Amino acid sequence: MPETLIFYVLSGLAIGASALVIGQPNPMYSVMMLIASFGALAGMYIQLDAPFIAVAQIIIYAGAIMVLFLFVVMLLNAAQEDAAEWDRSHPLRQPAIARFGGLLALLLVVQLAWALLRAGGLGGPVAGQVDAGVVSSVRELGRVLFTDYVFAFEATSILILVAMVGAVVLARREEGPTSSSKEGSGP
Amino acid sequence: MELRFLVQLGIIGFTFFMLINASALLVLAERKIMGFMQQRYGPYLVGPHGLLQPLADIIKLLMKEELRPKGADKWLFTLAPVLSITAAFAAFAAVPWGAQTTFFGLLDDPVSLGVADINVGILVIFATTSMGVYGIVLAGWSSNSKYSLFGGLRASAQMISYELSYATALSAVILLAGSLSLREVVDGQAGTWFGFIPSWYVFLQPVGFIIYMIAGVAETNRAPFDFPEAEQELVAGYNTEYSSVRFALFPQAEYINMTTMSAVGADLYLGGWHGPFLPPEYGWIWFLLKIGAILFMYIWVRWTVPRYRYDQLMQFGWKWLFPAAVLNLIVTAALVLYFNA
């Protein structure tokens, strides 16, 4: 029974923290809540006997990506979310846009319910598809990743590379006589 | 069964106690070594040769008034030092510090000297130490002070940059050992080459060891990379607004992080508790000596090398240290593949 109890505590924590990410106005607290949510997810991975994925979750999401989030929040130094967002006259509050958002939310609920029902019918979402030993052993995980799932793996790498190149292009300052007042003329 | 449980509880308590002592002793050692390097005595009045100075410091800090700036964020201001110290202590939990032992026949099965034996131990340590940055960043933000904010911003940028080189240097050792468990990495370094060179990974990974040490200094925010608290520019950086016990937790976390960094370095590169002359039951003496040597180097560097400029730190981290670490990893991977195939 303790395992079930831990599962419910962790899921409660994950859902509660996720709700608070969007449910309260201070962006700093949102970041902290997201970290808590990731921590709870990592705990669940450990319960699923996948310690490597749990640690990777913490290193990559909680340790690296959220530090960058925090960095941006601090750099903008926004103590409170923009009050305009809560204003009735805000463009996002227009009826057409609100209806579209409502439709998307409804679709998400239907999709979730469908997925959960289907998973219940099959007796577990991953049963029979992935060998349990693969998830718990780092060596096996690496082997499977570079053989059976190599296309998905490489496609993801290219996706990340594209994002990286895009960030560099966006952040690059146009060098030339017309731009940059501070750094003088370009090459 | 009960005896085993008690012994393990004892080991956990002992590790915790030694870590607290380590942070106190390191403060004293730092001041003594600094004094020696600057041709003066250092603390000398409290106790014989100033040995009780840390105790006096602790009492002083406990007696001080706790202040909180009016504009500070109440919750995060309190949470930040706690986060720092928790991450520091938790990281050491995955560090083994001695060979498996039965305590001279007291137990039937040998227990591991160390809090927890985790099969992805290296990653756990890495994940936990990377959580420590939140303490510093939150302290900087929640203080609602310009100096603190700059300290926190610098900490986040610096730690992201150097964590990358740090992790890449670690990966090369993981490749050599073929395991993510710190105990297995240490046991892979038992024995000698040609009968007299200890088979430590530092001889196979000299570049990796240097990268590990440099990145380790940056990770723990020590001089010459102590930008988050650069006194000459930021008063005291992220902990400017802190006082009393809350303040004390930050340096303590820093010293414990240093100890963890040294312990992991000793385990990964210097053969952990393996060494010549001593029987395996006394391997922890070797381990202590190695930690001591690395810690001395930390302090030595701090009082020898002046602080860099911030742009130099970023340039060095991204343009030199990280490419060197990646090159080291690729070469190691190729050699491991060549010799194992």
Residues A98-108 have a mean pLDDT of 89
Quote the CA–CA distance of A83 and B254 in Å, as a whole number: 39
Residue A106 has pLDDT above 90, yes or no: yes
**A35/B134 touch (CB, cutoff 8 Å), yes or no:** yes
B124 neighbourhood in chain A, CB within 8 Å? 55
Tokens of A50: 């996948």
**What's the pLDDT score for residue A16?**
92
Residue B190 has pLDDT above 70, yes or no: yes
Helix (H, G, I), strand (E, B) or coil at A184: coil
Buried b / exposed e over B285-305, threshold 16 CB at 10 Å, is: ebbbebbeebbeebbebbeee
Q: What is the average pLDDT score of chain A?
A: 78
Provide CB contacts within 8 A for B8, sequence distance 6+.
B111
**What's the pLDDT score for residue A92?**
66
Q: What is the average pLDDT score of chain B?
A: 83
ipTM summary value:
0.77
CA distance B71 to chain A (A): 11
**Residue carrying the six token digits 């962790």:** A10
**B160/A68 touch (CB, cutoff 8 Å), yes or no:** yes
Q: Per-residue pLDDT tens for B65-100?
A: 888 888 777 888 888 899 889 988 888 888 888 777
Among A32, A59, A67, select the one facing B123 at the smallest CB separation.
Answer: A59
Residue B113 has pLDDT above 80, yes or no: no
**Alpha helix ranges (H) inside chain A:** 2-23, 27-47, 51-56, 66-76, 95-122, 132-136, 138-146, 150-171
**A64/B123 touch (CB, cutoff 8 Å), yes or no:** no
**What's the pLDDT score for residue B338?**
87
Quote the CA–CA distance of A69 and B172 in Å, as a whole number: 29
The reply to whether A72 touches chain B by the CB within 8 Å rule is no
CATH number of A1-79: 1.20.120.1200
CA atoms within 13 A on the CB side of B202: 16
A32 neighbourhood in chain B, CB within 8 Å? 76, 134, 138
Q: Per-residue pLDDT tens for A18-33?
A: 998 888 878 888 888 8
Quote the CA–CA distance of B148 and B236 in Å, as a whole number: 8
The reply to whether A21 touches chain B by the CB within 8 Å rule is no
**What's the pLDDT score for residue A158?**
93
Residue B185 has pLDDT above 60, yes or no: yes
Rounded to whole angstroms, the maximal C-alpha distance in chain B is 66
Helix (H, G, I), strand (E, B) or coil at B170: helix
Quote the CA–CA distance of B325 and B322 in Å, as a whole number: 5
Q: Per-residue pLDDT tens for B16-60?
A: 888 888 888 888 888 888 888 888 888 888 878 888 888 888 888
Residues B173-191 have a mean pLDDT of 82
Tokens of A164: 């990286």
Q: For A148-183, give the secondary structure using H, E and C.
A: CCHHHHHHHHHHHHHHHHHHHHHHCCCCCCCCCCCC
**What's the pLDDT score for residue B326?**
92
A51 neighbourhood in chain B, CB within 8 Å? 118-120
The domain spans of chain A are 1-79, 92-129, 131-174
**What's the pLDDT score for residue B105?**
66
**Residue carrying the six token digits 């924590």:** A13
Supply the Cα-derived Rg of chain B in whole angstroms.
Answer: 21
**A55/B127 touch (CB, cutoff 8 Å), yes or no:** yes
Q: Per-residue pLDDT tens for A53-79?
A: 888 888 888 888 888 888 787 777 665
Confidence of residue A98 (pLDDT cuts 50, 70, 90): confident
- At B277, phi and psi to the nearest 5? 75, -35
**What's the pLDDT score for residue A107?**
93
Residue B292 has pLDDT above 50, yes or no: yes
Confidence of residue A179 (pLDDT cuts 50, 70, 90): very low
B126 neighbourhood in chain A, CB within 8 Å? 55, 59
**What's the pLDDT score for residue A162?**
92
Confidence of residue A131 (pLDDT cuts 50, 70, 90): low
Confidence of residue B330 (pLDDT cuts 50, 70, 90): very high
**B163/A63 touch (CB, cutoff 8 Å), yes or no:** yes
Element (H, E) at A26: none
pTM: 0.81
A70 neighbourhood in chain B, CB within 8 Å? 134, 137, 141, 156
Residues B250-275 have a mean pLDDT of 86
**What's the pLDDT score for residue B24?**
86
Q: Which residue of B has its CA nearest to A26?
A: B73
Residue B220 has pLDDT above 50, yes or no: yes
Q: Which residue of B has its CA nearest to A51?
A: B120
Residues A108-119 have a mean pLDDT of 84
The reply to whether A80 touches chain B by the CB within 8 Å rule is no
- At B100, phi and psi to the nearest 5? -65, 140
CB pairs under 8 A between A and B: 70
Q: Do the Cβ atoms of A41 and A14 come closer than 8 Å?
A: yes
